[in-house]
Amino acid sequence: MSNKDINTIKENVPASWTSSMDSFIVKGKNAEIWDRENNRYIDYVGGYAVLNTGHLNPRVVKRVEDQLKNYSHSCFAFAPHENAVKVAKEINERYPIKENTKTFLVNSGAESIENATKIARYFTKRKNIIAFKGGFHGRTYLTMGLTGKDNPYKTGFGPFPEFIHHAEYPYLYRDVSDEVAIDSVNKLLENNVNPDDVAAFVVEVQLGEGGYIPASKQFLAELRRISNEKGILLIFDEVQTGFGRTGEMFGADTVNVSPDIATLAKGIAGGFPLAAVVGKSNIMDSIHESGIGSTFGASPISCAAALGVLEVFDKDDLIKNTKQHAEIMNKSLKGLMEESTFIGDVRGYGTMIGVEIVENQETKIPAKDIALNIIDNCKTNGLLLVNCGLEGNVIRFMGPLTTPINQVEEALEIFKNSVINI
């Protein structure tokens, strides 16, 4: 990036809003992007797991272009439009909640979590929420409070809502078993908060920012059992695990556990701003008139894009494609773990794979510096990746599910060479 561009950014954008790349993106096509210097990259960041269907997917683009011929905006609360109803209907039919559901469309993942929590507290007439350590749920005050990763998201911004409590999230590589995590939930309910005053558990099927750590089917099933026993609602934050990322359409499909409410965003609309809260009909219908709403939520253009995304899944057999990607990625990355003492763990559902970088496999000491060096090496050689985890030492793969196999293999080869050459 030129000094002029750097200065322009510094003069106009808050210093904390930093970018990973050092050049402006000017073009994207499926799993590839190009910067202003015409450097080509395989994009395994994907707008932070947004571009499940790739940059400018033709089916998504066609739907958006068709919508733009008619109108660009209509606030659904004033003048409803068919695209929103079609998207809600599709989600209601596809998301694996066993009872009838209804869907509310908003703008972002954080807004979906805000509304899910708001609805849960209203419906149960209870105030407390239990979230989990390592979880990330957004950057609004409520969602920062729910987030279980303090630095950098919560540092200096407190205090946060006193009705939010955090339990352990299972992390087998760091010796937090399902039993330990469930025990921490039970201890909270016994010693810190009356279960009769807990509205909901808010949990990610697989941690995103917290380190790409999958929750087992057994852990989530036990959380479901506790919820049923105590009259607590179970909310799945599927902002990142939704729309194919875990190898099934939704994370709930992967773990075969059904929540009461789920939140969806990121991959829902192929890069256009949209999010959803889907929940059991009796819960969603409990809110009084105009108690929930959104000016830009259910944007006709974003809803058109979302219908295009669903068309990609249906007509291009994207789930099958994702399973193939996951098989190739796991084989390569777990093989690399046997060669490199820096790789402590390879984990995750579907293509949502995290590689934990450590000083060595024996001590398992987190090694953020090594992780960042690997990421820099990858970028130099044409592959974009970012880190996550409580210690920042986990490298995550978030490439489009539409990535051609030869580019999946190219990305893995670049990653392998970048690790070996550390």
CATH classification at residue 325 = 3.90.1150.10
Residue 229's SS3 state is helix
Amino acid 175: pLDDT: 96
Q: Are 272 and 64 in contact (CB under 8 A)?
A: yes
Pair (345, 408) in one structural domain: yes
The closest alpha carbon to 311, from 99, 105, 101, 83, belongs to: 83
| Number of C-beta neighbours around residue 207 at 10 A | 32
From 178, 180, 198, 196, select the one nearest 130 (Cα to Cα): 198
The reply to whether 301 and 330 lie within a common domain is no
358 and 248 together in one domain: no
CA atoms within 13 A on the CB side of 97: 26
Q: Give the torsion through C-alpha atoms of 12, 55, 66, 278, to 10 deg.
A: -90
Which tens digit of pLDDT belongs to each residue from 61-108? 999 999 999 999 999 999 999 999 999 999 999 999 989 999 999 999
Which tokens sit at 221? 């099933």
Range 197-203 average pLDDT = 98
pLDDT at 259 over 70: yes
Structure tokens that stand for 382 in this block: 């044409």
Residues 23 and 103 in one domain: no
Quick: pLDDT tens for 109-160.
999 999 999 999 999 999 999 999 999 999 999 999 999 999 899 999 989 9
| 393, burial (CB in 10 Å: exposed 0-12, middle 13-18, buried 19+) | buried
pLDDT band at 256 (very low <50, low <70, confident <90, very high): very high
**For position 145, what pLDDT does the model report?**
97
- The SS3 assignment for 289 reads coil
Give the total number of structural domains in the chain. 2
Q: Is the pLDDT of residue 49 over 80?
A: yes
Averaged pLDDT score across all residues of the chain = 96
- Domain termination site, one of 282, 315, 348: 315
Residues 261 and 380 in one domain: no
pLDDT over threshold 90, residue 405: yes
Task: State yes or no: cis peptide before 96, omega within 30 of 0.
Answer: no
* Band (365; pLDDT cuts 50, 70, 90): very high
Which residues have a Cβ under 8 Å from the Cβ of 392 and sit 6 or more positions away? 366, 368, 371, 372
Confidence at residue 17, expressed as pLDDT on a 0 to 100 scale: 87
Count of CB atoms situated within 10 Å of the CB of 74 = 15
- 129 φ/ψ angles, rounded to the nearest 5 degrees: -125, 135
Calpha distance 380→92 (Å, rounded):
44
Please list, residue by residue across 43-64, b when 16 or more beta carbons sit within 10 angstroms of its beta carbon and e when fewer do.
Answer: bbbbbebbbbbbbebebbeebb
Residues of the domain holding 243: 61-315
37 and 150 co-located in one domain? no
Question: Does 14 share its domain with 162?
Answer: no
Q: Are residues 129 and 158 in the same domain?
A: yes
Residue 1's pLDDT band, with cuts at 50, 70 and 90, is low
Check residue 6 and give its pLDDT. 78
- Domain ends where: 270, 292, 315? 315
Q: Which of 411, 306, 364 shows the shortest CA–CA distance to 67?
A: 306
Do residue 189 and residue 72 come from a single domain? yes
- Dihedral of CA 64/68/71/73: which sign? positive
- In Å, what is the CA distance from 352 to each residue of 240, 279, 327, 367, 396? 9, 24, 12, 21, 7
> In which residue are the tokens 């009705």 written?
163
The dihedral of CA 52, 57, 62, 68: what is its sign? positive
> What local confidence, expressed as pLDDT, does residue 21 receive?
81
CATH of the domain at 98: 3.40.640.10
Of 315, 331, 360, which one is at a domain's C-terminal end?
315
Residue 304 has pLDDT above 80, yes or no: yes
Structure tokens at 113: 């979590």
Residues 394 and 270 in one domain: no
**Would you say residue 412 has pLDDT above 90?**
yes
Pick left, alpha or beta for residue 161 (phi over 0 → left; psi -120 to 50 → alpha; otherwise beta). Answer: beta
Among 13-22, 84-93, 193-202, 291-300, the range scoring the smallest mean pLDDT is: 13-22
Same domain, 126 and 224: yes
Residues 336 and 301 in one domain: no
What number is the average pLDDT over the span 302-327? 97
Instruction: Say how far apart CA 285 and CA 307 lie, in whole Å.
Output: 24
- Single pTM value for the model: 0.97
